[in-house]
Amino acid sequence: MAIYDREAEQLDRDYLVQVQLERLQATLHRVYKNVKFYKRTFDRLGFLPEDCLSLEDLARLPFTTRHDLARSYPYEMFAVPLREVVRIHSSTGSPGNPIVMGYTARDLRNWAKLAARILTAAGVDRDDVVQVTLSYGLLTSAFGLHYGVELLGASVIPTGPGATHRQVQIMRDYRTTALISTPGYAMVIADTLEEMGLDAKELHLRVGLLAGEPWTEDMRRDIEDRLLLTAMDNYALSEAMGPGVAGECEHRQGMHLNEDHFLPEIIDPATGQVLPPGQLGELVLTTITREATPLVRFRTGDLCRLTYGPCPCGRTLARLSRIAGRTDNVVIVKGINIFPERVGQVLAGLVGEEPVYQLVIGRERQLDYLEIRIEVREGLFFDKMTAQREFLGKLNTKLTQGIGVTPRVKLVEPHSINRAAETSPLVIDLRH
């Protein structure tokens, strides 16, 4: 199968390490000079950028967390003047402020190139018609792969999510050959095909790039059997760039990570110690070409393994295993990270104090849903049903705005969620 950037993706490992070191050193100088957060951090340690003489020296620096990024809202993590930032994205659902990511024109060009690598590795080429059903907007979900498709010279159909009957009609009529979606939505498309009385053979799908939420090998096989395509995994991280970080090749023995742009580490999430290749731990990424919002040792919260063995495809880049879980209580619903604490903040802002609540995540007809259960208390009693419906509607709107997913809101009896005794978990995930 083709390789988009053969020179970069098949670099000799020794030469790649030299490239990484030079880019890391340049990044450390840039953040020390331009980002107050990193200057304070380095100064507190007595560390200067020129003290980084090898990749191993990176472990001397502390980690960057999502809380650090949220506290730097909106522009304190920017390493370039705002006039050089041509694109701004932000996350939803995190505790406190949203996380804001900036992109220079060069960042956007790199993003497109890295996405083109992922697409090419998955088997997409210039003759494909690619339907993108991920979200467009402040989230990075759809954009990187959209740019990569255009850079390859393929045709892109930017449908975005939802309106599944219409999506299927477009797939059939426009002769879509490649699908970009979450795994759950791919299953919804398969269900909708059956509802419409259509056979997957009437479509022209041959490959799917699926990401944004946890999925299993059984789910992969089910999607492939029902949509008659090859389902490929890829890894995206909004804080680092978005889609384009890593992706599978045709051998599906791990996701090739674009190491010439993202320097990976696997750490013990409890101790922070760097683990050797092959061990399960938390992925930490340092961006080494990002101009607008570079990150040093960013803790992703994703559990996986990192291997460096040769791949039959010829790429020499390290490979990530499939994501095995999370180190925190973040839950992923419809491709969006949701922090349960953020739900509590939204509820407290509306009712005056944080009520007892619980998140229940399930799956109906292959599509994830989020139900938020809230204990009724004095301030949540209503004399009239119309008043209750009005309150629930307002609550639903505020929660949707705050976490990025439209939930089901359910009022439950007092003391039915026993938070104090910890007999009722904050999050119940029924998908597993």
Domain endpoint, select from 283, 300, 328? 328
Final residue of a structural domain among 269, 293, 328: 328
Q: So what's the pLDDT on residue 175?
A: 98
Going by pLDDT thresholds of 50, 70 and 90, the confidence category of residue 423 is: very low
CB-neighbour burial class of residue 123 (10 A; exposed 0-12, middle 13-18, buried 19+): buried
With beta carbons less than 8 A apart as the criterion, state whether 224 and 197 touch: no
Task: Report d(CA 69, CA 102) in Å as an integer.
Answer: 12
3-state secondary structure of 180: strand
Do 198 and 292 sit in the same domain of this protein?
Answer: yes
Measured N-to-C along each axis, helices 340-351 and 385-403 cross at an angle, to the nearest 10 degrees, of: 140
Residues 70 and 50 in one domain: yes
Residues facing residue 361 across a β-bridge: 370, 429
Residues 324 and 337 in one domain: no
Burial annotation 8-23 (CB, 10 A radius, 16+ → b, else e): bbebeeeebeeebbeb
Which DSSP string do the residues of 298-341 spell out, in sequence order? EEEEEEE-EE-S--TT---S-EEPPP-EESSS-EEETTEEE-HH
Note the pLDDT tens digit of each residue in 109-168.
Answer: 999 999 999 999 999 999 999 999 999 999 898 999 999 999 999 999 999 998 999 999
Q: Is residue 313 domain-shared with residue 357, that is, in the same domain? A: no
Distances (CA, A) of 248 to 174, 211, 252, 283, 317: 26, 11, 5, 17, 11
Mean pLDDT lowest for which of 4-8, 258-262, 417-421? Answer: 417-421
**Rounded to 5 degrees, what angle do the CA atoms 243, 249, 254 make?**
80
> CA-to-CA distance for 108 and 290, rounded, in angstroms?
10
d(CA 55, CA 235): 23
The radius of gyration computed from the CA coordinates of the chain, to the nearest angstrom, equals 22
419 and 281 part of one domain: no
CA-nearest of 275, 116, 135 to 213 is: 135
Residue whose structure tokens are 């802002």: 349
The CATH number of whichever domain residue 105 belongs to comes to 3.40.50.12780
Residues 177 and 218 in one domain: yes
Q: What is the pLDDT of residues 257-287, one digit of tens each?
A: 999 999 999 999 999 999 999 999 999 999 9
Which residues on adjacent β-strands are paired with residue 156? Answer: 130
**Given its phi and psi angles, is residue 278 left (phi above 0), alpha (psi -120 to 50 degrees) or beta?**
left
Look-up: residue for tokens 């059997």? Answer: 225
The two tokens of residue 401 are: 């705005």
| 212 and 270 fall within a common domain | yes
CATH for 346: 3.30.300.30
Give the pair of three-digit tokens for residue 48: 């200067």
pLDDT for 421? 42
| Pair 305, 346 in one domain | no
Residue-wise pLDDT tens digits, 271-330:
999 999 999 999 999 999 999 999 999 999 999 999 998 899 999 999 999 998 888 777
Q: By the 8 A CB rule, do 172 and 143 touch?
A: no
Mean pLDDT for the stretch of residues 34-59: 98
Domain carrying residue 248? 1-328
**What DSSP character marks residue 125?**
-
Q: Are residues 324 and 344 in the same domain?
A: no
- 172 and 121 in one domain? yes
Question: How long, in residues, is the chain?
Answer: 432
Domain count, the chain: 2
The interaxial angle of helices 13-34 and 36-45, nearest 10 deg, is 100
- Region 391-417 average pLDDT: 85
Helix or strand holding residue 237 (H, E): strand 230-237
Where among 277, 299, 328 does a domain terminate? Answer: 328
Residue with tokens 């890829």: 234
Long-range contacts of 106-111 (CB under 8 A, 24+ apart): 106/291, 107/241, 107/290, 107/291, 107/292, 108/147, 110/241, 110/261, 110/289, 110/290, 111/143, 111/144, 111/147, 111/241, 111/242, 111/244
Where are the strands (E) in 105-150, listed by range? 129-132
Measured distance between the N- and C-terminal CA atoms of the chain, rounded to whole angstroms: 35
Question: What is the value of pTM for the model shown?
Answer: 0.83
* Residues 368, 314 share a domain: no
Q: Which residues pair with 242 in a beta bridge?
A: 237
* Mean per-residue pLDDT, 184-194: 93
> How far is Cα 217 from Cα 183, in angstroms, rounded to an integer?
11
Q: Is 378 exposed, middle or buried (0-12, 13-18, 19+ CB in 10 A)?
A: exposed
Question: Are 118 and 210 within one domain?
Answer: yes
Over the stretch 70-101, which tens digit does the pLDDT of each residue have? 999 999 999 999 999 999 999 865 567 889 99
